[in-house]
Amino acid sequence: MKSKVFFTREITPEKVVELYRLLGKELPGKVAIKLHSGEVGNQNFLKPAFWKPIIDMVGGNVVECNTAYEGQRNTTAKHMSTLEAHGWKKYFRVDLMDAEGPDLELSIPEGKVIQKNFVGKNMKNYDSILVLSHFKGHPMGGYGGALKQLAIGCASSYGKAYVHGAGDPEKIWTSDHDSFLESMADADRSVMDYMGRENIVYINVANRLSVDCDCDAHPHDPEMGDIGIFASADPVALDQACVDAVYASEDDGKAALIERIESRNGIHTVEAAHSLGLGSRRYELRCIDSYKN
């Protein structure tokens, strides 16, 4: 069965809201809004003003977790300061889910590589998740989208090291690469099973398509133009659609991003998530620029 992925070339806050409404899903209870707060110095991350209309409509709290690498977001004090400086705390209620331990441990009995995952303990306070992702490249994952946002983004600082190390936090930067990618898919499964797959919605914005992540304080400037906004209830189909759109682009600048994805075998995260039954790589792309409800 093909999953529905809605798409627009127009990158505006209003179009984010429109795509969400077309999905026909109302997130229940208390909503966690998972997004990237942006490393200090990064110029590519999506700012509070862009996300404000969808967050205001859905309600809930902006949630984040501390990083596992040096920077301005690897401790609660520094991350809170960054959330303040970047404007998140000005507009929204913000919950740094792993600000205080212990982490929430999620079981993954049928995981490909890891059999447990560690997320911010405050996840237990939420009934649903809106995953807002900036689709772009990534120095380790090849690309960053919905699957990475759910897996690494919801992981505690320790959990991030655990996933990157494929179960061994001491190997955070040195684990077998494909095992790391498969561990991300395992982590996705743990969060989806814990929260309920029907209680998560995903939106990817494919703009400022740098080869580097928003966690990079000095990312490479984008070499290709913006693509648009994608939305789905299926994170596998969503990320696959974004990757396909990069390949299908007529922009010659896409070569750098494609090289980054291929050199890191980025599509393997999608493959692993599909094999775990987290979604379908087959999708029906509905462009709302010509779509009539």
Q: Which of 199, 175, 176, 248 is nearest to 34 (CA)?
A: 199
Query: Would you state the pLDDT for residue 121?
Result: 98
Q: Which own/partner contact pairs does 160-166 have at CB distance under 8 Å and 24+ positions apart? A: 160/65, 160/67, 160/68, 161/68, 162/114, 162/117, 162/118, 163/114, 163/117, 163/187, 164/68, 164/140, 166/113, 166/114
Query: Would you state the pLDDT for residue 159?
Result: 98
Query: Would you state the pLDDT for residue 1?
Result: 86
Query: Would you state the pLDDT for residue 30?
Result: 98
The span from the CA of 165 to the CA of 162, in Å, is 5
Tell which phi-psi region holds residue 243, choosing left (phi > 0), alpha (psi between -120 and 50) or beta.
Answer: alpha
The span from the CA of 273 to the CA of 271, in Å, is 6
Query: Would you state the pLDDT for residue 293?
Result: 44
Query: Would you state the pLDDT for residue 101?
Result: 85
The pLDDT tens digits along the chain (293 residues) read 899 999 999 999 999 999 999 999 999 999 999 999 999 999 999 999 999 999 999 999 999 999 999 999 999 999 999 999 999 999 999 999 999 989 999 999 999 999 999 999 999 999 999 999 999 999 999 999 999 999 999 999 999 999 999 999 999 999 999 999 999 999 999 999 999 999 999 999 999 999 999 999 999 999 999 999 999 999 999 999 999 999 999 999 999 999 999 999 999 999 999 999 999 999 999 999 975 44
Kind of pairing between the strands at 128-134 and 136-138: unpaired
